[in-house]
Amino acid sequence: MKPVSVLFVCLGNICRSPMAEGVFQHLTKPKNDTHHPLIARIDSCGTGAYHVGDGPDSRTMSTLKDNGITTYKHKARKFHLSDFKTFDYIMAMDDENLDDLQRLRKSCIKKNNMEDHELGRVMLFGDFGGEEGEVVIDPYYGTRDGFDVAYEQMIRFSNGFLKTLEKQAAAAEKQSGGE
């Protein structure tokens, strides 16, 4: 199985999706180590352009730092249709983001006369947390504890997603005759 690229998507790209990106980077590339063999690229963006060019929310950064993630850097960007071709997995943080991305993807397929398999898969990141349909509530208007809850979710979802990829890789290896 070739390494995959993963894009995390929320609304403004300053709270949830950069936290997911930072956590996923941390889990797949420990200090002084190479990337996880199944991961090629990791990024995040927002469906809205509210914060383009801004760094992550200070509460996102302090939550990451409090959990040992100190080297993460990011500037917010808006989702582009080209992301469907660039990324294998596009992970939405909530149902609204998921609906927006699915609508854009369908439109892109129809407008460009493409096949479904030619574009990255749009999924709810919370589906990898043990309970299908779990969403990450936007902590932007809340207090710091919302960021702590989001962080815990990012750890669970990231580990669940990595286990899924590892199972797929093992199945592909077995099917190709390797041990």
Distances (CA, A) of 7 to 66, 141, 142, 170, 174: 24, 24, 25, 23, 28
Bridge-partner residues for 124, per DSSP? 92
The Cβ of residue 44 has, within 10 Å, a number of other Cβ atoms equal to: 27
The reported pLDDT for the residue numbered 31 is 63
Residues 6+ apart with CB under 8 A from 168: 1
Pick the CATH number of 4-174 from 3.30.470.30, 3.30.70.1560, 3.30.70.270, 3.40.50.2300: 3.40.50.2300
pLDDT per residue as tens digits for the range 146-170: 999 999 999 999 999 999 999 999 9
Residues 42, 77 contacting (CB under 8 angstroms): no
**pTM for this predicted structure:** 0.94
Domain boundaries, the chain: 4-174
Amino acid at 63: T
The reported pLDDT for the residue numbered 24 is 97
pLDDT per residue as tens digits for the range 118-151: 999 999 999 999 888 999 999 999 888 999 999 9
Bridge-partner residues for 5, per DSSP? 41
Q: Where are the beta strands (DSSP E) in 11-110?
A: 39-46, 89-92
Residues noted as catalytic: 10, 16, 138
What is d(CA 56, CA 170) in angstroms, rounded to the nearest whole number?
A: 36
3-state secondary structure (DSSP) of residue 74: coil
Bridge-partner residues for 46, per DSSP? 10, 78
Sheet holding 4-10, edge to edge: 39-46, 4-10, 89-92, 121-124
pLDDT per residue as tens digits for the range 11-45: 999 999 999 999 999 999 866 666 788 999 999 99
